[in-house]
Amino acid sequence: MLDVQNLTKRYDDTIALTDVDFTAAPGEFVAVVGPSGCGKSTLLRVLAGLEPDFDGRVTVNDTPVDDGGSADVGVVFQDPRLLPWATVRENVRLAAPDDASDAEIDDLLERVGLEGFETALPGELSGGMAQRVALARGLAYEPEALLLDEPFSALDALTKVEQQAFLLEVWHSVEATVVLVTHDVEEAAYLADRVVVLGSQPGTVVDRIDVDVERPRERTDERLLDVRERITTALGL
């Protein structure tokens, strides 16, 4: 589904990423973990087609990523980036096909748990609900791959746990490939099928870790604790 080969990304004299290689199979949940400044968000922007100037090869469904991205890929950023004067429905419509009806958008909002909030304004939503609007927007074109850039980092601990569980429900229902960028080691181990660990300066892959733990998972499962320890070791923590 996603194939990254020898990806190197430069900004003038600064190398943000170097020789990054990883794949994500159809329906797989991959987490990318690394310290601040290691190029995680840059990697996601390249996958989304928002950073076309790079060395290496990046493909989505065997099609090279080019400027402007692909309808096969949806993106959810760290900040929900909702228009404050637009309703929930209107915010999602911005990312939906031109011929999408109100009923179709409302069905999508129901899928992400926002039934009854179609005409609410962003200022009337909690942080978790705002992120669900952003998730609905990322799913509006029914993408085969969903890219998430630290979507829960600004949420309190309880809301983060709730949103993680909800993300898994949505992932199972839409059967999309997911690439989640996060600096949260516990989050990566709990959610992902596989964890790609990036080192920094410049960002490069230092480990790839399969999470061979059946779902549903318990956060206290010793196997997940082992995965977390391997991640932290790879990060030099």
DSSP secondary structure letters along the chain = -EEEEEEEEEETTEEEEEEEEEEE-TT-EEEEE--TTSSHHHHHHHHTTS----EEEEEETTEEP-TT--TTEEEE-SS----TTS-HHHHHHTTS-TT--HHHHHHHHHHTT-TT-TT--GGGS-HHHHHHHHHHHHTTT--SEEEEESTTTTS-HHHHHHHHHHHHHHHHHHT-EEEEEES-HHHHHHH-SEEEEEETTTBEEEEEEE----SS--TT-HHHHHHHHHHHHHTT-
Is the residue at 112 inside a domain? no
Give the total number of structural domains in the chain.
1
- Residue 124: inside a domain, yes or no? no
Q: Would 148 be classed as within a structural domain? A: yes
49 in a domain, yes or no? yes
Quote the pTM value: 0.93
Q: Domain range spanning residue 171?
A: 2-72+143-234
Per-residue confidence of the chain (237 residues) as pLDDT tens digits? 899 999 999 998 899 999 999 999 999 999 999 998 899 999 999 999 888 889 999 998 888 887 555 668 999 998 999 999 999 999 999 999 999 999 999 999 998 999 999 999 999 999 999 999 999 999 998 899 999 999 988 888 998 999 999 999 999 988 899 999 999 999 999 999 999 999 988 999 999 999 999 999 999 999 999 999 999 999 988
Residue 219 lies in a domain: yes
Q: Is position 206 within any domain? A: yes
- Residue 214, domain CATH: 3.40.50.300
Q: Is residue 81 part of a domain?
A: no
On whether residue 59 sits in a domain, the answer given is: yes
